[in-house]
């Protein structure tokens, strides 16, 4: 299937075909409003990316720590997260694809312990699959692995890049520090994209970003409902929504669809789990992106629902004050520090990370927590002992296992399923019965 009427590299065609196929599938189901919207969003993102390339408009690469609003402030410039093809292949294309690009990167000398998404990005660039960038705008979060990967990408593409120094803490002083760097990045972006930055365009982008955040805030509240009205896997897509669609009208369309679907299903008294939910868990750390059906399995086999995960619950803190240029830069800095997935959790003291988890467990009335430890994430896994202590003190059982969010070779689905099933049988079920 040709994207925008033109044949593209096969890897992208697979993604596009996957999106089109899934849209057809979900469109037949009027209750799949949320899933349908995000898959349409993925298709549109692919179209926008190639439209920019075809029209000769500049493309600016960025990483998942960097929310793209500032880039969108330049007329006609298309932002592209460096993780995009990996994520799209995992979610709607061929999940085995990621393994091939990881192997490609390792074959070129990337250390095996580097995060799989970063290795995959390197593999993709080595294969020459990304549209050419005018320049790169990055944050030095969420992790060291990503910083190493960005340096490698810069060397491989020989294009200029600017790295924002994201501080350890997230207070007002740190917000001002990051906002100042955003201001300094504007001339850099203008120079390399040959496009003018417009404060009015930036304001419109921030307002769009706020509309998305407001829908997500409402959606977060609706998912507290018991039984949880919507499928668990939709929560795993939050990260993709924030990274790829912040400031894009498509993001608002997706967030509204999430909200509307949850609201309508609550109105109809519907549960995500056919036959009724028995268990609720907060999913902490990274989602299983190589098999979204894993979430369906939890619902059908264990009657377990995930009302919320680590990366989705902070939308209300993402609102940007659009009254002045300075307030917008500071608002974007606040969002970068306090909201962007992984940046919020992994850059500062572990206490925030643990406090968020305990708050989520209480707010969503979780029977237990699932700490899905992505093996390369030393920032997250380094705190597991403290996590266990805090969970125990709070009386919330915590299941911990290691896996890789992009590489099922590390821990296969069957092993994870066994872990979760045993934990429910041995820990969660007896506690619920005793209560």
CB of 363 to other proteins, least distance (A): 21
Report the DSSP pairing between strands 161-164 and 279-285: unpaired
Helices (H), 247-377: 249-267, 293-297, 325-338, 343-346, 350-363
Q: With 0-12 CB in 10 A as exposed, 13-18 as middle and 19+ as buried, what is 94?
A: middle
Helix axis angle, 84-92 to 238-245, nearest 10°? 140
Q: Are 374 and 285 in contact (CB under 8 A)?
A: yes
Cβ proximity to other proteins: between 42 and 423 the closer is 423
CB of 396 to other proteins, least distance (A): 8
Angstrom CA distances, 368 to 38, 233, 292, 414, stand at 28, 18, 21, 20
Cα separation, 14 vs 97, whole angstroms: 10
Q: Are 240 and 258 in contact (CB under 8 A)?
A: no
CB of 434 to other proteins, least distance (A): 6
Element (H, E) at 371: strand 368-374
- 61: β partners: 80, 136
Cα separation, 266 vs 261, whole angstroms: 9
DSSP, res 424: I
Report the DSSP pairing between strands 78-81 and 279-285: unpaired
Q: Are 230 and 272 in contact (CB under 8 A)?
A: yes
Cα separation, 308 vs 219, whole angstroms: 10
CB of 417 to other proteins, least distance (A): 16
CB of 423 to other proteins, least distance (A): 8
Chain residues that interact with other proteins, rule: CB under 8 A:
385, 388-389, 391-392, 395, 397-398, 422, 425-427, 430-431, 434
Angstrom CA distances, 56 to 128, 134, 153, 183, stand at 18, 11, 22, 26
CB of 431 to other proteins, least distance (A): 5
Helix axis angle, 249-267 to 33-54, nearest 10°? 170
10 Å Cβ neighbour count for 9?
Answer: 14
3-state secondary structure of 23: helix
């Amino acid at each position: 299937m040709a994207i925008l009427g033109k044949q593209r590299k096969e890897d992208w065609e697979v993604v596009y075909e996957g999106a089109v196929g899934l849209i057809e599938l979900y469109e037949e189901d009027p209750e799949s409003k949320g899933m349908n919207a995000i898959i349409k969003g993925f298709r549109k993102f692919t179209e926008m990316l190639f439209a920019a390339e075809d029209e000769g408009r500049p493309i600016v690469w960025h990483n998942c720590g960097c929310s793209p609003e500032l880039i969108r402030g330049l007329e006609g410039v298309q932002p592209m997260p460096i993780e995009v093809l990996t994520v799209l292949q995992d979610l709607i294309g061929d999940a085995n694809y990621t393994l091939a690009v990881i192997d490609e990167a390792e074959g070129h000398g990337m250390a095996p312990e580097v995060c799989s998404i970063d290795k995959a990005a390197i593999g993709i660039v080595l294969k020459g699959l990304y549209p050419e960038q005018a320049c790169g705008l990055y944050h030095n979060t969420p992790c060291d692995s990503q910083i190493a990967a960005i340096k490698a990408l810069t060397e491989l593409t020989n294009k200029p890049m600017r790295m924002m120094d994201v501080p350890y803490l997230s207070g007002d002083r740190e917000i001002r520090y990051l906002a100042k760097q955003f201001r300094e990045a504007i001339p850099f972006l203008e120079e390399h994209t040959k496009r003018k930055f417009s404060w009015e365009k930036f304001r419109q982008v921030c307002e769009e970003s706020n509309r998305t955040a407001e829908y997500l805030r409402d959606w977060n509240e609706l998912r507290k409902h018991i039984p949880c009205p919507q499928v668990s896997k939709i929560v795993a897509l939050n990260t993709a929504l924030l990274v790829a669609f912040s400031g894009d009208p498509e993001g608002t369309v997706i967030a509204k669809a999430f909200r509307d679907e949850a609201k309508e299903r609550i109105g109809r008294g519907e549960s995500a789990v056919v036959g009724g939910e028995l268990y609720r868990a907060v999913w902490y750390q990274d989602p299983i992106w190589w098999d979204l059906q894993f979430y369906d399995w939890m619902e059908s086999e264990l009657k377990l629902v995930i009302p919320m995960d680590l990366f989705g619950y902070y939308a209300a803190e993402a609102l940007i004050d659009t009254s002045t240029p300075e307030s917008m830069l500071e608002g974007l800095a606040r969002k970068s520090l306090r909201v962007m997935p992984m940046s919020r959790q992994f850059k500062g003291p572990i206490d925030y990370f643990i406090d968020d988890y305990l708050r989520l467990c209480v707010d969503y009335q979780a029977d237990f927590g699932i700490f899905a430890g992505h093996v390369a994430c030393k920032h997250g896994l380094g705190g597991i002992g403290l996590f266990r202590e805090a969970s125990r003190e709070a009386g919330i059982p915590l299941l911990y296992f290691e896996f890789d969010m992009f590489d099922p070779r590390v821990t296969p689905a069957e092993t994870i399923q066994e872990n979760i099933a045993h934990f429910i049988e041995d820990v969660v079920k007896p506690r619920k019965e005793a209560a």
